[in-house]
Structure 1
């Protein structure tokens, strides 16, 4: 592959700015045709600081893990890395604070190590690696990173949005609870007693997750179903559907305690993995069969999709209008929303946007955490 980025000038400055050196390399990769976003640049800086700036091999693998998308990018990456950094070790420059002492491995049997500093270094390295993983696009993760991300899903803490209930509960202040106050007086044989107060109670709202599993979303489907499994296992009143060329109800499959078994069960139920996309028809089928009967009424509905619609956008726009009229709030999570330079120009997104309350990112663990907060506050 012919690289368009010019090599750096011969002879680096005496005290180079390491951040500028690394960012320059990332931007040179972008100029050479690699899909390097601002989010990947930030992740690369964190990963390089974690492995240590003086470790040339560590910086190489940090960049290859964060700045490349497919194996087709590796030859261009290798060639530009050699031209940019040469055969010498990467200078420390003014960023002396990122040079970390050697990290000792934590004992596997849970016993005590030789000292506290090594354990602290190990914990810091693990925390840094987990932070890098949180911001990675889940579509670009390797098999090992996917396994690590699957373990992080267990730490997510979704919460139900609340609505006011018809029944009242006791309160310290507010409206006077006449019956309770009267009963208090009767117990005291007519003597004045404490005045009781009450307020309207709260109940959890239903959450409905509509997950696009078409071909354009296949790289995200596994992670989105893992997120749905966390919702089903920890939050009451959650319903999950997949959308492709048809609509499939997968809530029962996701009630399995083990996430891998739950995803396997969902895979056996869904007949249209990586197929076409009929978002409008799928949302219409949900409304006709489940939504109007009560499942969508007053619910928080989350649509996971990139907005690519196989049919005309007018159908999707009409069904989104119906969905917004029935539900309490509509949230649309788009995996491309959190990437630099993204513009909602797809016909499906343009048709749906007027009926969406929250348009959020859905491409990383950090984005999933933000989505959980949006749903909890709905």
Structure 2
């Protein structure tokens, strides 16, 4: 994989490198990316050796990050001996447009072909398995997930509001008549309003889910940022599942997704560990601060079903969760793959108790999952 040609725009090439490094699992924040660009400018961004040293010093926080950075760096600059010369802003304003000056049919046709190819690549990416994407593809996927606009489900509220039709609002109608000295006035109507129904996301971050965890948490961040009706507070709750239950709702309320994921990584102690879904769900349904969250909510469990504990215990807890929730959805990254069979212990225990069993391996699957949530 080689870096794209940006006609001398060194900063764009280096920013592309930061996106690829972040997609590989290194927690690169906005501040780190900015510091990297400044460091590369100071040491001389025209040389790849200087870029490598600047990246190691600013983007990496530990030995594991350095290993990942080196791998991405080698792939990103494969086949390149040097970077283009850095162009000043005055020079950028004087650059000739890279598009051809000829406005004839050939230019229009070439531009249309380029747009068609770009659109086709994006459409292919929407159906690709997240685990099979290259760092460059994951960086593009991250941007596409950020452009999703989830809609939260709604429920009927107990309080009634004024409306142009519906049941007669006797009190408002009588008050209007009194204002008119008892003369007949316009009949007022009312209806039950709507409020956002709570959505609870339980995301498996065990070792078997590691290739999908970053994309799924980005999807959870998009859901947590979705607008809500009726001033509903706490409409979205997000937990990670592994060997323990961890609430990451506050971290995902951070508007910037990169900062939010860094906060999640700092809060989750069992990242890429084992899986004890039955025990963790029991904690969720019995702990004082979480046991009420599933009542009347849309609960989404995202897991591949690899359970190290007792499948019978998981079935019991899922049965309780199904009775409490309004709608129980299980999303499995392997569900959409050809030849998949639900033979895992967790999936066998879950299927009798879930309302929807959907895929969760690609951007298209994420979009379908959001539609299921919106209409639950």
Match of 1:259 in 2: 257
Displacement of 1:313:
0.1
Could you tell me which of 155, 178, 187 is aligned with 1:186?
178
Displacement of 1:122:
2.9
Please tell me whether residue 214 in structure 1 is matched to residue 212 in structure 2.
Answer: no
Displacement of 1:188:
2.1
Match of 1:329 in 2: 327
Match of 2:359 in 1: 361
Compared with structure 1, are the counterparts of its residues 241 and 215 closer, same or farther at alpha carbon in structure 2 (3 Å cutoff)? same
Compared with structure 1, are the counterparts of its residues 292 and 245 closer, same or farther at alpha carbon in structure 2 (3 Å cutoff)? closer
Instruction: State how far apart, in whole Å, the 2-side matches of 1:247 and 1:270 are.
Output: 9
Displacement of 1:291:
7.0
Instruction: State how far apart, in whole Å, the 1-side matches of 2:151 and 2:288 are.
Output: 23
Match of 2:317 in 1: 319
Q: Which runs of 4+ in 1 moved over 4 A?
A: 107-116, 290-293
Displacement of 1:113:
7.2
Match of 1:200 in 2: 192
Q: Deviations over 1:229-263 (max 9, x none)?
A: 11112244111111111111111111222212211
> Is the partner of 1:295 in helix, strand or coil?
coil
Match of 2:168 in 1: 176
Displacement of 1:125:
2.1
Instruction: State how far apart, in whole Å, the 1-side matches of 2:98 and 2:201 are.
Output: 40
Instruction: State how far apart, in whole Å, the 2-side matches of 1:137 and 1:195 are.
Output: 58
> Is the partner of 2:292 in helix, strand or coil?
helix
Instruction: State how far apart, in whole Å, the 2-side matches of 1:113 and 1:168 are.
Output: 63
Q: 8 Å contact 2:146–2:218 — kept in the other structure?
A: no
Match of 1:143 in 2: 135
Q: Deviations over 1:89-124 (max 9, x none)?
A: xxxxxxxxxxxxxxxxxx998999754444433322
Compared with structure 1, are the counterparts of its residues 255 and 124 closer, same or farther at alpha carbon in structure 2 (3 Å cutoff)? same
Please tell me whether residue 277 in structure 1 is matched to residue 275 in structure 2.
Answer: yes
Please tell me whether residue 297 in structure 1 is matched to residue 295 in structure 2.
Answer: yes
Match of 1:377 in 2: 375
Compared with structure 1, are the counterparts of its residues 287 and 204 closer, same or farther at alpha carbon in structure 2 (3 Å cutoff)? same
Q: Aligned residues, how many?
A: 272
Pairing 1:335-346 to 2, within 5 Å after superposition:
335-346=333-344
Instruction: State how far apart, in whole Å, the 1-side matches of 2:195 and 2:346 are.
Output: 34
Instruction: State how far apart, in whole Å, the 2-side matches of 1:292 and 1:147 are.
Output: 34
Displacement of 1:160:
1.1
Compared with structure 1, are the counterparts of its residues 317 and 130 closer, same or farther at alpha carbon in structure 2 (3 Å cutoff)? same
Displacement of 1:297:
1.0
Match of 2:117 in 1: 125
Q: 8 Å contact 1:287–1:323 — kept in the other structure?
A: yes
Q: Deviations over 1:172-230 (max 9, x none)?
A: 22211111111221222222222111111110011110000111111110110010111
Match of 2:145 in 1: 153
Q: 8 Å contact 1:292–1:326 — kept in the other structure?
A: no
Indicate the larger mover: 115-124 or 317-326. Answer: 115-124
Q: 8 Å contact 2:284–2:291 — kept in the other structure?
A: no
Match of 2:155 in 1: 163
> Is the partner of 2:225 in helix, strand or coil?
helix
Compared with structure 1, are the counterparts of its residues 292 and 233 closer, same or farther at alpha carbon in structure 2 (3 Å cutoff)? closer
Instruction: State how far apart, in whole Å, the 2-side matches of 1:133 and 1:350 are.
Output: 31
> Is the partner of 1:306 in helix, strand or coil?
coil
Structure 2, unpaired ranges of 5+: 1-94, 229-234
